[in-house]
């Protein structure tokens, strides 16, 4: 388990470019099961500080399941995650679905 955070600000560049002030917080939990299976939650919470207060946040809740396995000698990490955006700006989707198929190259 852990947490990742980032804040982006614009401070230079073309004067006709829009300003940026965005926060990202990503708490994650991975729980390993037998035979390469795992449970995961990896919510990406964002805030656009320049948006109106009622359109500022995106807050998903959910998680998924995955498995690490081999095809021949090639290790692969595959997972499926589903998140419901309990807080979201106008026009944002209600749901997020993500699928990962990741080739692993351990030493």
Render pLDDT for 5-21 as a digit per residue (tens, 0 to 9): 999 999 887 888 888 99
The total domain count for the chain is 1
Identify the domain containing residue 71 by its residue range. 2-103
Host H or E run for residue 84: strand 74-87
Instruction: Yes or no: say if 3 and 27 are a contact pair by the CB < 8 Å rule.
Output: yes
What would the pLDDT profile of 28-82 be if each residue is shown by its tens digit? 999 999 999 999 999 999 999 999 999 999 999 999 999 999 999 999 999 999 9
């Amino acid at each position: 388990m852990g947490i990742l955070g980032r804040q982006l600000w614009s401070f230079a560049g073309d004067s006709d470019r829009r300003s940026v002030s965005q926060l990202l917080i990503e708490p994650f939990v991975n729980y390993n099961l037998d035979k390469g299976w795992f449970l995961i939650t990896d919510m990406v919470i964002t805030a656009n500080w320049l948006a109106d207060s009622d359109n500022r946040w995106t807050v998903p809740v959910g998680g998924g399941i995955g498995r690490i396995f081999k095809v021949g000698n090639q290790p692969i990490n595959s997972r499926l995650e589903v998140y419901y955006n309990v807080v979201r700006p106008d026009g944002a989707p209600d749901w997020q679905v993500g699928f990962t198929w990741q080739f692993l190259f351990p030493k």
